[in-house]
Amino acid sequence: MTYAPHRFCVAPMIDWTDRYCRFVHRQLSKRARLYTEMIVDEAILRGDRSHLLDFDTEEHPLALQLGGSDPAKLAEAARIGAEWGYDEINMNIGCPSDRVQSGRFGACLMTVPDLVADCLKAMQDAVDIPVTAKCRIGVDDQEPAEILPRFVDRLAEAGVTVFIVHARKAWLDGLSPKENRTVPPLDYPLVEEVARARPHLTFVLNGGIEDLDQAASHLETFDGVMLGRAAYERPYILSRIDTRFFDCPREATDRLTVIKAVAAKAAVMDVPIWKFARHMLGLFHGEAGARDWRRRISEEGRDRGATPDWFIRLGTEITARSRAAA
């Protein structure tokens, strides 16, 4: 059976979904679509591209998320990303942070749909891979039921066919970025209404999805779902994605196998194990020994003695405790 490319995605999250995090997630699911952190176009044009863009070939399918509001700069950054080997370029039109607003990108761009359309058109003209949009349902005093349909239609006129919609409004004045992830109420029915009226477009639902049962229920309506904090804070739920949502005939990868793969990768890359381990604090969530796992990684993970071998020993100890209690 052929599945839509965006059937199950892990959200781009600033300071979280770096290449080390994505390597961990890929050990758990071979089919989930992964996203980079948002990278500003200027950083790619002027910065250390290898540091910003390098990734492991195992990470495919992998999308590069860009932030910016200048069509020419975004087009050039998209072109570089495509040449780097990414499978998709995604434009961030949803991040509500102060830093993003000051740079005129992210959620504040929902107030200038014509500019967003120009940016996306320029990126599409620059690359041969899909260019997609990730947005909110509105910002501040906008009325989502009015703004979202018009916003989607304007971007569709520019050639966008894939919309990842975080089903919350963003309050740019009055709420912190953390509060913007939870305080504004979710409006799944609105996103569903917009999607049903546009069957020729692909809609991926994001926001408030806490587990795989919820994801499955939303897939009855939407073309795809995107998990954010749930996938990061409880990463082992990703181990059940391939069999449940893609009918892949493979056993769920056990935690110790993931730990050994990460240790081996850290050794090959010659990087501190902490770069990977900080993204694995929730690997044993709900299991016996989970608290000790988090504590020891937090307290010992940055020490000089935190070698790949140390990581494997710790993982073996916690795995044994978990299995004994099962």
| Residues known to be catalytic | 95
Q: Under DSSP, is residue 131 helix (H, G, I), strand (E, B) or coil? A: strand
Pull the structure tokens for residue 267: 């050794």
DSSP E strands: which ranges in 137-239? Answer: 162-166, 202-206, 224-227
Of residues 161, 159, 151, 123, the one with CA closest to residue 41: 123
Contact of 86 with 77, CB cutoff 8 Å: no
Q: At what angle do helices 144-157 and 188-196 cross, to 10 degrees?
A: 40
- Which DSSP string corresponds to 4-27? -TTSEEE---TTTSSHHHHHHHHH
